[in-house]
Structure 1
Amino acid sequence: MQLPRFLMGDHSDHPDDIFVIHTEYPRFIINLIDDELEFIDDIQKADKEDLEAETKNLIEEASRFYDEQMEFYENE
């Protein structure tokens, strides 16, 4: 199965939260309400520095993905 790079998620126990899941390495879930980030993959120390800049870009991409999805649903 080919997964999209980003997925949106919600949960009835957290109705006000907005979750975006990044499905490629480094896989993570971000709550766009407070920018809390939870990595799914174990991040190796050697990768940590390289991933810091990439993660910032991925968070921005996750926010854009969410905005685009909301615009799509509003226009339907």
Structure 2
Amino acid sequence: MLPKFLLADNSQETPDTIFVVHNEEPKFIVESDIEDFWSNQVVHWYSDKPDSEALIKQLLEDAEEYLEAEFENQENLFDDEEND
């Protein structure tokens, strides 16, 4: 079973862009600035776009929370490696 969210990048083509992939329905990819999730954001829908703006807003907030938690976890892992 795939996780709800995945991170992706294409550092050779767009080094300042991060992609957050939502694997559950409705499926979509958020393309955004790596430093500011809400900057230059584009949502690519692979499922039908929901009619509910409230649902879309919640899905994007969930994606941002996931991204922030992943970045924090990566920092903690790097800190742990440096301390070993």
Measure how far apart 1:10 and its partner are. Answer: 0.5
Normalising by structure 2, we get a TM-score of 0.76
Alignment partners' CA distance in 2, 1:23 and 1:39: 11
1:26 shift after superposition: 0.8
Map of 2:81 onto structure 1: none
Letter in 1 for 2:45: F
1:14 corresponds in structure 2 to 14
Following superposition, the deviation at residue 15 of structure 1 comes to 1.1
**Partners in 1 of 2:51 and 2:27 — Cα distance?**
16
Q: Which residue of 2 aligns with 1:24?
A: 24
2:58 is aligned with 1:37 = no
Paired residues for 1:26-65 under 5 Å: 26-33=26-33, 34-41=40-47, 43=48, 48-50=50-52, 52-65=53-66
Whose radius of gyration is greater, 1 or 2? 2
Note the residue ranges of structure 1 that are not aligned, 5 or more in a row: none
Give the C-alpha shift of residue 49 in structure 1.
2.2
CA contact (8 A) 1:6 1:23 kept: yes
> How many pairs are equivalent?
70
CA deviation after TM superposition for structure 1 residue 35, in Å: 1.7
Runs (4 or more) in structure 1 with deviation over 3 Å come to none
Give the whole-Å Cα distance in 2 for the aligned partners of 1:8 and 1:24. Answer: 14
Describe the superposition over 1:23-64 as per-residue Cα deviations: whole angstroms up to 9, x where unpaired: 0111000013222101012x27xxx423x2211101001011
Question: What letter matches 1:49 in structure 2?
Answer: D
CA distance in 2, matches of 1:66, 1:56: 15
